[in-house]
Structure 1
Amino acid sequence: MGGSQSSRKLTVDNENAIQVSQEALDRIQAQLNANQAQQAVSPPPPPPTQFVPSEYFESDKRKKEHAAEEVYWARRIENLKRAHEKINASMDVEYQKTLKEANELFNMAQNDKIASKLPPCQDEKAKVLECYSTNPNKTLLCSVLVNKFNDCVCRSRVAAVSAS
């Protein structure tokens, strides 16, 4: 029962289910040929144009509103230009002021370098070195000169700190 497949076959002969007359076939073929010929000959359609309303449709009220907006934005732009000019002027003043201060500081540093090129207490240093070279094994004999050199160095340090 149901375990085997059915061996029956069904065939339908439907060759002439829809009958079309030769006249209808000719009309359809002629229409297709005409459409193909028209597509081959006719240029492509122009791109869509943007609608621009004529002045006739624009009311006086709308024209006045447009003019008022133009005046508003013109004033706004001028105010912004003036504000930017003020900002630029103040920035230029600050730039010049900072440049002047930087140049003054640079000149002061250059002057300090020139003044401090030679180390202080050169005479005392030379005397100490001479004493050490003449008394190589008796360095305590040079202690007085070393103390004078030390005092000179301390004075120059104090002078440098108080100057700055």
Structure 2
Amino acid sequence: MGGSQSVRKLSVDNENAIQVSQEALDRIQAQLNAKQAEQPTPRPQYAPPPYYDTHKQNEYAAEEAYWARRIENLKRAHEKINSGMHLEYQKTLKEANDLFDLVQADKVVNKLPPCQQEKGKMLECYSSNPDKSLLCSVLVNEFNDCVCRSRIAAVSASS
């Protein structure tokens, strides 16, 4: 009796089952869809909590105004700092450009070889006296002296 479990199977044949046509199923489905469309979807409504009274609203408004003023003050301070930095930048840029122009002008002056006038006189003398080069010795000495002076000036300027 209690040693093994028995398994029972039960089957019921329902000969009185109702068969519904496809047209009837479609009509029922259409009616269900129409009812669902008629029912409006409930909108969530926000109700402020009971402790949210005018006193709290005033506190929040005051705090909001405080932070708005604070932000505006910080914006103005930032604009002042930014304009000051911009002016300093422009001033420094102008000074740097002036120095650069000065150095460039100095380089242009120094790029020309020294004693060009003496060199021209000496070469003219040689071309006009091709067979008598000793006649140009005075001009050669002047050119040599000019070159020596230029070298001394360049060395003293760099040190």
| TM category, shorter | 0.5 to 0.7
The reply on whether 1:123 has 2:103 as its aligned counterpart is no
* Of 65, 73, 88, the match for 1:71: 65
User: What pairs up with 1:21-32 in 2 under 5 angstroms?
Assistant: 21-22=16-17, 25=19
Q: Cα RMSD over matched residues?
A: 4.6
Distance 1:111 1:35, change over 3 A: same
Cα distance in 2 for partners of 1:69, 1:18 equals 77
* Percent of paired sites with the same residue: 52
Cα distance in 2 for partners of 1:98, 1:145 equals 50
User: What pairs up with 1:80-159 in 2 under 5 angstroms?
Assistant: 80-105=74-99, 107-109=101-103, 112=106, 119-133=113-127, 134-135=129-130, 145-159=139-153
Distance 1:145 1:94, change over 3 A: same
Cα distance in 2 for partners of 1:45, 1:85 equals 58
Q: TM-score, normalised by structure 2?
A: 0.57
Deviation at 1:86, TM superposition (A): 1.7
DSSP 3-state at the match of 2:77 = helix
DSSP 3-state at the match of 2:61 = helix
Which runs of 5 or more residues in structure 1 are unaligned? 1-13
What is the match of residue 162 of structure 1? 157
Q: TM-score, normalised by structure 1?
A: 0.55
Cα distance in 2 for partners of 1:117, 1:142 equals 27
DSSP 3-state at the match of 2:114 = coil
